[in-house]
Amino acid sequence: MQNHEIDYRIQGEEMQCVEIELDPQETVIAEPGAFMMMDDAIKMETIFGDGNEKGFFNKLLSGGKRLLTGENLFVTQYTNIGSGKKHVSFASPYPGKIIPLNLMHNNGKIICQKDAFLCAAKGVSIGIEFQKKLGTGLFGGEGFIMQKLEGDGMAFVHAGGHIIEKTLGPGELLKVDTGCIVAFTSEINYDIQFVGGVKNTLFGGEGLFYATLRGPGKVWIQSLPISRLAGRILAYGGPGGRKEEGSILGGLGNLLDGD
């Protein structure tokens, strides 16, 4: 293996954290802000890029790619400089699940939603994956620019709500809301398809396009994208008052509770 071989334990149900066990001189890299706690004798260092680049220009290029995927220019690495096993933990930023991905068992490459990365063994490369087809680029929305995790070690991504892992056979097609895609293996063919139908387009409320994932390969789907959750919070608690199920009853409710 080229990547550091780390052990881990995922704890919690709805607000999960992952505890990484590091042998002496082993290192894990994480997204800034993901840190939760660590043992003594673990050295924390903020680095430019993902730590795999040589030379300032390559580091700058890597940092720019990370910015395109909505991540920070920097990552933080945690190294066990002690003599025994030490632990460091990282927390999910919103309700959902942490997904462990063994890149060695997935042909060394996973493509994931642009803000999904949480942490990984040192040596895992974090890049960008542009969807090359014109239709995907114009209408792909959240799925146009995605993250690319490459290597042969463990990586961890987080997603909202419940997670469903599906294995698609050759030619098998799955239609998914673009925001509900968490990750998929490199063999999966990703594209965008028009919903179709006048009523679906005008009144469906699901958007004009959805993603198509064609096997063979694995896909990970989330039930509650953070964008959907944020939209609901703004609708109920943002400027303009709350959104009710029925306009008449909703208005009465606002009068009764003083709104």
The pTM assigned to this predicted structure is: 0.78
SS3 state at 146: strand
Domains and CATH numbers, the chain: 7-237 (3.60.160.10)
pLDDT digits (tens, 9 = 90+) for 54-102: 555 555 555 555 555 555 667 899 999 999 999 999 998 888 899 999 9
How high is the pLDDT of residue 69? Answer: 53
The residue type found at 37 is M
How high is the pLDDT of residue 214? Answer: 95
| pLDDT above 80: residue 132 | no
Residues forming beta bridges with residue 212, ordered by sequence position: 175, 191
Q: Which residue has the tokens 């933990």?
A: 89
| pLDDT above 60: residue 15 | yes
DSSP letter (8 states) at residue 121: E
Mean pLDDT in the chain?
79
Cβ within 8 Å of residue 209, ≥6 positions away = 139, 140, 141, 178, 192, 193, 194, 195
| pLDDT above 60: residue 118 | yes
Band (pLDDT 50/70/90 cuts) for residue 235 is: confident
Band (pLDDT 50/70/90 cuts) for residue 109 is: very high
How high is the pLDDT of residue 63? Answer: 56
For the chain, percent of residues with pLDDT exceeding 90: 46
How high is the pLDDT of residue 52? Answer: 57
How high is the pLDDT of residue 60? Answer: 58
How many whole angstroms separate alpha carbon 5 and alpha carbon 26?
A: 8
What mean pLDDT comes out for the span 39-60? 72
Band (pLDDT 50/70/90 cuts) for residue 172 is: very high
pLDDT digits (tens, 9 = 90+) for 177-208: 888 999 999 999 988 877 655 454 454 445 56
What mean pLDDT comes out for the span 26-49? 91
What mean pLDDT comes out for the span 140-148? 65
Tokens read off for 99: 């997904």
